[in-house]
Amino acid sequence: MKKATEIYRSGPHAWLAIHRDPERPGFLIDTNEYLVTHGDETLLTDPGGMEIFPAVFSALSKVVDPRSLSAIFASHQDPDIISSLSLWLEVKPTLPVYTSWLWTTFIPHFGGDAGTFRSIPDEGMNLSLGASTLRAVPAHYLHSSGNFHLYDPSARILFSGDVGAALLPPDAPLLVKDFDSHIQHARAFHQRWMGSAAAKQAWCERISALAIDQLCPQHGAIYAGADVGRFINWFAELEVGVTQAPAVAPVAAVA
Ligand SMILES: [Fe+2]
Ligand SMILES: [Fe+2]
């Protein structure tokens, strides 16, 4: 099963990563979920697919009361992000889901109703969690056309969704240990999934202006300390998106 590891705490404010399920079937991409708690309120980022709901719920229940969940943040609309929604709403039917306005009529195909969704405008917005304030930061087209990351200025943590993702072996550590070897597991993912060089440059400039101690992706390992800047610089230099027509085999003639 997955386990929850505390990655930040200061008084009533904490972040926990739910990560690494050794029993996860190989046909599912591995995911990280994060809990942000402040006092008796808890926000869950990208709760994951319905297949992994039991593992996430079990790990979460060991560290917080599931009824204390106060919000879900969905960075975008992918199934590995939010297809478990209907199951979380069985735990707490009034749970609000913060997501891009672009997806508030699409994600209800996974669950929820007219009262479930809180639209985030393209420019982003602040979210209150207890006495703390989090910021939904635009990351559009990286890779989803309506996409947000979540910045916590007091913890100096950025939840970066699919940006920073790496496809790692199941026994990989939660924190990046050796940036140069780690990033080899991230290269192909970013080259294919990140479709816009212009959006990537804008994100790198926007994120470089923030004080970040930990950059926490939805797949792979957490970049901490100097590795945060290393990742942003690596991403800024990486060629991504469509630079020429993709090479595909010609369509076979129909007899
Ligand atoms: Fe995605
Ligand atoms: Fe993802």
The string of pLDDT tens digits covering residues 114-155 is 999 999 999 999 999 999 999 999 999 999 999 999 999 999
Q: What is the pLDDT of residue 167?
A: 94
What is the Å distance from ligand 1's center to 222 Cα? 17
Contact 249, 204 (CB under 8 A): no
**CA separation (Å) from 26 to 7, 22, 167, 218, 246?**
26, 10, 12, 17, 28
C-alpha 17/C-alpha 24 separation (Å) is 17
- pLDDT tens string 194-230: 989 999 999 999 999 999 999 999 999 999 999 999 9
**CA separation (Å) from 185 to 27, 76, 148, 156?**
18, 22, 23, 25
Residues 161-175, mean pLDDT to the nearest whole number = 93
pLDDT grade for 169, boundaries at 50, 70 and 90: confident
What is the Å distance from ligand 1's center to 62 Cα? 27
Residues 81-109, mean pLDDT to the nearest whole number = 98
What is the Å distance from ligand 1's center to 142 Cα? 8
What is the Å distance from ligand 2's center to 63 Cα? 24
Mark the residues whose beta carbon lies below 5 A from ion ligand 2: 80, 162, 218
- Considering every ligand atom shown, identify the ligand nearest to the alpha carbon of residue 141 and give its number: 1
Res 255 pLDDT > 70: no
- Considering every ligand atom shown, identify the ligand nearest to the alpha carbon of residue 218 and give its number: 2
